[in-house]
Structure 1
């Protein structure tokens, strides 16, 4: 089974801690990180990135990169404003940041180019998440609003100019700051759950744009994680409890907490700040203001492991598959040159502004698709053409870092393909042996009946 890592950061300058989820072994501690809530991201398994809390009122924001095998910051970026939430798509090709002004910034990782910027909320963006199919970006903000953005719309000039607004949905039923968002499976047909300082979690349908369920909690909820089976979700409260809430329609409360809340987990001494699931969906990892990271077995509701951060509050916790670039610390000291050779080259810093002459422009126009016939294209085809054109343009302007990262990605793809070939080969051999045995058994049975 592929190993998983637990990665935790703090809003104080306590760095980033990294442990093996199953064995508990500690890896490197990464230095000089003061990460806000939702401000830590693993970029395609290749490196870590984090937005940083403002050091002084006069300073702008910053985003830092760490490679897996060096504790020091390697790349520093300085966006136009303070960035709070930071998220990457699954492949690690894009980084998206939410600004304190309510703007959303969309960067291309390989080149650092700021591709898009748009005004998304009236107040600071607090959380960002991609849908499972990576086609939608969902944002929450201090204004209590949850908005759903189609990337096809953002990158498609034609559809964007024809639309009345950029977002697909704007959910404004929360009365206070949105603290976290979780999404289920199904892309544009999924459900999402949002948490707020108004002590409610709301379940929304993306297919109909409707509120499906409103759950009131005994405490403010700052973190949520959805069970991969989508039967329940876990809500971390400021009272130190992790509440379990039913998502299925017939969920009946078996506790004293109120409708749809069916239980709780309580071992943390202070507020729960972040939650994350293991890849198999059985282990729940929680971070708290008490500086502890706890690992829960959701089947037994028991704690199976506890990690202690250096000091202070935990602001983020991630659970990821162990990166092939991560070399154990014991090997780094004895094989430092080799470790450096095998580590990927990190991409350049993120750009502060788009290439547009008007730096304050909300959305930068992109080259429309080339149409070779008089027959009009439908909107979905134009969307795909537009994004493909954008990708080709970025590939043509790639840097040496981009080339190296692309090479590493192709190596991993090749490795996965070889593993699949071996699996198919073994399945073919097993099927062949089965057929041979069936034929032999049939011949023996026929021979036996002939002799009788």
Structure 2
């Protein structure tokens, strides 16, 4: 079983805590972090990033900080044009997206720090950001109660942006108060979205149809949601200290003690639940609370398996991430050296404003949407100019890292080619099946007609 880490942060200057999910062993504590809610993210497992709360007494007010896994202090500091609330990275770690207090969304290239795109997304501050599993859509929630879906193809296509009436794909406005959290399921453009709000509801949306599928009213304000990998249920953390379990595809239970579609609850925290996370297999649920505790629950027995205490103050972010290989003591020396070399490369600080003088440079951004029949696969964002420049620079310095980067690029191209082959095979199989079915149906019809005659 692959090792996983629990990473937790606080709105107070209590740093970031890190534990092994299953053994409970504590790893390095990271300093100088006062994170915004939904403002902590792992950038492809290479390093941690967090947006910082506004504080007139803090020199890092409104900043974004980066930590590598092997050093406690932040190594890169960035100062965007405005304070950032929610922060998220794509799965490949090639770009990072932040939601501003004004309602603007900023998209930066991680390696260079370039501000690639900025657009006005909401009328009030952005409170949540999440990518669809195929990375082709960005979903945002805000203090104005709206949930909006953004296609990255649209964001990077200037011509389509000019022609479109609205920049977003969908805008959901059924919430009456601030959106507190967002989560998406699997299936690319056919996935579901679950949003929570201070209006005491969680709403389930269809990404393909752009419609509300289910509205669930809770006894308390919900600040955090986590979706079971099987998508049969989801967990909702309330300000009353309870974690409610809500059904997505079960029959309506009119006899529930909590309300329609709510099939149970977990209760052990003394204060409000602020954040939730799930292990990759969905068997362990991690909850953070204003009581400063992080609890791990067995989702089958609904019992607590571990309890972690943050340094001080409430917990407002938890992540469950794969353990970086260089933190694994069982890894070989060669593997450790290779991983350390890869993880030692930190990105440049994020730009405050886009550099207009660079608009005509030969830098291309690719949003590659690869699909199989009725299914989406990984959709990475790649800056070809950045990759080529890095390879040339490293080759000039005689670094072996250039070879590694070239190998990664070739592996990615090979993976895409294989996926394309599988796509054409699937399309051929479906076309063949369709033709056979048509022939058989025609034969049956002709035989029936002959009998009638």
SS in structure 1 at match of 2:35? coil
Distance 1:164 1:139, change over 3 A: same
Q: Show structure 1 runs of 5+ residues with no match.
A: 359-363, 370-378, 381-386, 417-452
State yes or no: 1:56 paired with 2:56: yes
2:106 corresponds to which residue?
Answer: 105
2:241 corresponds to which residue?
Answer: 240
How far residue 316 of structure 1 moved from its aligned partner, in angstroms, is 0.4
Distance 1:243 1:411, change over 3 A: farther
- Aligned pair count reads 393
Distance 1:222 1:388, change over 3 A: closer
2:303 corresponds to which residue?
Answer: 302
2:34 corresponds to which residue?
Answer: 34
2:12 corresponds to which residue?
Answer: 12
1:241–1:265: 8 Å Cα contact kept in structure 2? Answer: yes
2:18–2:26: 8 Å Cα contact kept in structure 1? Answer: yes
2:250–2:261: 8 Å Cα contact kept in structure 1? Answer: no
How far residue 392 of structure 1 moved from its aligned partner, in angstroms, is 2.2
CA distance in 1, matches of 2:312, 2:16: 11
TM-superposition CA deviations, 1:322-344 (whole Å, max 9, x none): 0124366xx9xxxx999975742
TM-superposition CA deviations, 1:287-309 (whole Å, max 9, x none): 00001000011111111111111
Q: Show structure 2 runs of 5+ residues with no match.
A: 371-378, 413-453
CA distance in 2, matches of 1:410, 1:365: 26
SS in structure 2 at match of 1:69? coil
**187-196 or 391-400, larger mean C-alpha shift:** 391-400
TM-superposition CA deviations, 1:86-115 (whole Å, max 9, x none): 000111111000000100000011111110
1:263 corresponds to which residue?
Answer: 264
How far residue 412 of structure 1 moved from its aligned partner, in angstroms, is 7.5
TM-score norm. by structure 2 comes to 0.79
2:131 corresponds to which residue?
Answer: 130
**235-244 or 407-416, larger mean C-alpha shift:** 407-416
1:222–1:237: 8 Å Cα contact kept in structure 2? Answer: yes
TM-superposition CA deviations, 1:51-77 (whole Å, max 9, x none): 001121997621001110110111101
CA distance in 2, matches of 1:30, 1:116: 30
Question: 5 Å matches for 1:408-447?
Answer: none
State yes or no: 1:392 paired with 2:384: yes
Question: 5 Å matches for 1:225-374?
Answer: 225-248=226-249, 250-252=251-253, 255-326=256-327, 343-356=343-356
How far residue 282 of structure 1 moved from its aligned partner, in angstroms, is 0.9
CA distance in 1, matches of 2:193, 2:226: 11
TM-score norm. by structure 1 comes to 0.80
2:273–2:290: 8 Å Cα contact kept in structure 1? Answer: yes
Question: 5 Å matches for 1:39-188?
Answer: 39-56=39-56, 61-188=62-189
How far residue 391 of structure 1 moved from its aligned partner, in angstroms, is 2.4
